[in-house]
Every structure is written in C-alpha cells, then in structure tokens.
Amino acid sequence: MNTKYFEKIHLWGTVWNYAALAMMYFVPLALSVFYGAWPSLGIIGKTLVTLIPLYWTTAIIEVVTYVPMLGAGGTYLSFVTGNISNLKLPCGLNAMENAKVRPNTEEGEVISTIAIAVSSLTTTAIIAAGVLLFAPILPKITADGSVFKAAFNNVLPALFGALGAGYFIKHWKLAFAPIIVGVLVLIFAPETGVGILMFITIVASVLGAAVIHRDLLSKESLRGSPAPEEIAAENAVNDTDE
C-alpha cells in the first residue's frame, strides 16, 4: 500500500483525534471556570472507579474490533464523529460490499473512508434539518401515549436488521454461530455492552468460519485427488476446445 498516504492519514488523524479530545475536556472546563463550580475530587474518583473498568475495556475492544474492518482513514473519522456501531460501521461495510472490495486492501481503504466521510456529512445535515423541522412536534410523537413511540424504540434493531439480512442470506452458515452466541449472551447477561458483545460475536464468527473451513478441507481430502487419466482427459478436452 502507499506509505505516503498512510503517513498523512495517521498524521491528520492523530491531530484531529487530539483536537476532538481537547474540545471534550474544554467544554466542562470552560463551564466550571465561568460558573466557578468545580466537582470534588472524591466524587470524580468514585465515578472513575465505576466507569473505567467498563468503558476503558469497551474502548480497547472497539479499537481491536473496528480497525481491521474500517481501515485507517475510516477509523480516525469514525472515532472523531462517533456513532460507530450503529452508523459508521454499517455504512463502511455496506459500501465495500456494494463495491465488491475487501477490507484491508487499498480499494477497501478508499471506499470505507469515502463512505464514512459522506455518512458524517449526511448525518450532520439530517440532524440539523431534523432539529429545525421536528423540534416542535418531536416531544409529542415520542411521548409515552403516542402511537409512534414503539417505532422510535426500535430504530436500531430495524437498522441492523435491514443491513444484516443481506449478509445472513448470502452467508447463512457463517452467520449461524455469531447469532446463536449473541442471543445466548443477551439471555444470560442482558447488560452486556455493545462493544463487548460485538467482540464476542466476532470471535464466534471467526471460530465458526474455522470450523467450516476445516470441514471443507476434510471433504476435499476424502474426495481425493483426480486420477492421472482424468487429468489427461480433461487437458485433451481443453486442447480440443482451444
């Protein structure tokens, strides 16, 4: 792959990730300075003790899980703009699927980065339009007594169901293991985070693929190699066709 491209990607990706991190810290810091209200160190310590084991673990798992699928450019964009699992990841994977390219290739890197960039711009435009147009009526249609309440509660399942159905139909043998494992995890541990659940299902998918691959190899070995006379006959037919 082009090393200059990745050098620039890592340079600007690092710059913008640190810039986004600084902005995240700057907003509460500016509010504390402006209002003169500072949280006590005891409260911060207790909160961090509770959150660090959960969110830091999830963050590490998400990096290990997302980077091979999104590529360098897509990863930097996704971690700056957010909404990875429910928006950026499906957009990147769907774009590569439609373009018939694979992750971890030059083509996949370009397609994933473009798809996630366009997704970020589109999301920003849609959110801005939604805030302006739906702000007056949104509280009413999302209220507990509204007939639309159930629809808003199932936006993410509908999104992932629509995107995943195509993959499940095309590769139902590969989809079997992660679906079963994911359902079992949610049954016995319904509070499992999305990042951890995704990592578990990906491991199940890899193990399932390994089992299927081994089964195919064993079937090929049982069939055995074609006999020399069969190879000679096939070559003779090919020569005649030519």
Across the chain, what does the average pLDDT equal?
Answer: 81
Question: What is the longest distance spanned by two Cα atoms in the chain?
Answer: 90
Task: Answer for the pair 193, 60: CB distance below 8 angstroms, yes or no.
Answer: no
R_g of the chain computed on alpha carbons = 25
| Confidence band for 114, pLDDT divided at 50, 70 and 90 | very high
Q: Tell me how many helices (H) and strands (E) the chain has.
A: 11, 0
pLDDT over threshold 60, residue 155: yes
Q: Which two tokens stand for residue 138?
A: 């949104």
Q: Would you state the pLDDT for residue 143?
A: 80
Q: How far apart are CA 212 and CA 205, in angstroms?
A: 10
pLDDT over threshold 50, residue 237: no
Instruction: Give the pLDDT confidence of 210-232 residue by residue, as tens digits.
Output: 888 888 877 777 665 554 545 45
Report CA torsion sign: 209, 115, 192, 187: negative
User: How far is CA 6 from its chain centroid?
Assistant: 21
Report CA torsion sign: 157, 163, 168, 171: negative
CA distances from 8 to 15, 79, 129 (A): 11, 17, 33
DSSP letters, 173-206, are: HHHHHHHHHHHHHHHH-TT--HHHHHHHHHHHHH
DSSP letters, 29-71, are: HHHHHHHT----HHHHHHHHHHHIIIIIHHHHHHHHHHHHHHH
* Amino acid at position 107, single letter: E
Does this model's pTM top 0.85? My answer is no
